[in-house]
A and B are shown apart, each in its own frame.
Chain A
Amino acid sequence: MQFTILLTDDSSPMRKVLKKTFKAAGYAESEFLEAADGKQGLEKLRNHRVDIVITDYTMPEMDGLEMIRAIKNDPALKHIPVVAVTTEGSSEIINRFMEQGAEGYIKKPFTPEQLRDLLVKILGVSDYDQDTDASDSDFDF
């Protein structure tokens, strides 16, 4: 199944890791858009049809929390699911993400399996699920 996925993180290696993890999780056919902060991310959202947003918390210009707030307050964007990927996973910060309308969160460090489970929950079936021979050992992460 093909999705358009927006990866918002100021760390270029982390965007590459997320992309690799998505591919390993069965979303290899998806299109990936990248943004280095919330401001760039919103720009991409307004110019592309996006199925899911993955966002970091701490970023320059506009952080992940402000970005989620902007998405969920925009009638044209609020239907897009948002997943927060954060190192600062205190309950208070997680609660703030969820209060703003995030559909899920994942704490770094994460395993590919943890991310895959969350994506399947939000996006539904992946190519990975359709491959009955696949096992966790197929992850080349």
Chain B
Amino acid sequence: MIKTLMHQIAISTSEVMETMFFLPVEKNGGISLEDTGLCSANETLAAGISFSGAFSGRICIFMPDSLLKMMAENLMGLNPDDVTAEDTAGTLTEALNMIAGNALRKIDDRFSSHLGLPATVDPAEVKNLENMVIFQTLGGRLALAAQIDRAPDTGRKGCF
């Protein structure tokens, strides 16, 4: 199930980044979050969202502040100088919300998932990053990680 979820997160990220932020993305294979510097850099922002339903878990997103500013400009049609910290934080959580909702919907349109409220988190405190997909965009790299706590039918507990 985690492979399916990661696959749909990759497709969904591409769709959301292109449709809402006008930033085509390219998947970066064979590199870790450490290679990107996204997990430790001061300028990295991260957000997390939990989901529940037929299966439950959590999805996190990481990206540099510079990319986020570009996304906020594109999303809201703002001038670079007009982008506030509230705009960037809101853009980050909204991007994650759209990617997560769209990915879960793609797994099964009948699957009634419930998304929690997305919230910014400290990138250094995010654990269980083994299931991750990294993208390159015009404005820098972004990464998405996911974990499933409860899979359908198996009753299995814990992270993959």
Contacts and interface: CB of A to CB of B under 8 A. Distances in A.
Given A17-B75, A87-B101, A11 B112 contact: no
B98 to A, nearest CB: 5
Contact of A90 (B93, B94, B112): B112
The SS class assigned to the B binding surface is helix
B91 A13 contact: yes
7 contacts: A16-B75, A58-B97, A58-B115, A92-B110, A109-B15, A110-B19, A140-B77
B97 A90 contact: no
Nearest to A12: B90
B95 to A, nearest CB: 9
A139 to B, nearest CB: 11
A90 B110 contact: yes
Interface residues of A, number: 25
| Contact count band on B | 20 to 34
A40 interface: no
B87 interface: yes
Contact of A88 (B15, B91, B93, B114): B114
A109 B104 contact: no
B111 interface: yes
B105 interface: yes
A88 B105 contact: yes
B4 to A, nearest CB: 16
Nearest to A19: B76
Interface of B: 15-16, 19-20, 72, 75-77, 86-87, 90-91, 93-94, 97-98, 100-102, 104-105, 108-117
A107 B99 CA distance: 12
Contacts of A86: 101
A87 B110 contact: no
Given A13-B87, A109-B16, A110-B19, A87 B77 contact: no
A30 to B, nearest CB: 17
A107 B98 CA distance: 9
B93 A11 contact: yes
Interface in A95-138: 107-111
Contact of A17 (B76, B97, B109, B111): B76
Given A20-B77, A87-B115, A92-B110, A12 B19 contact: no
Contacts of A58: 97, 114-117
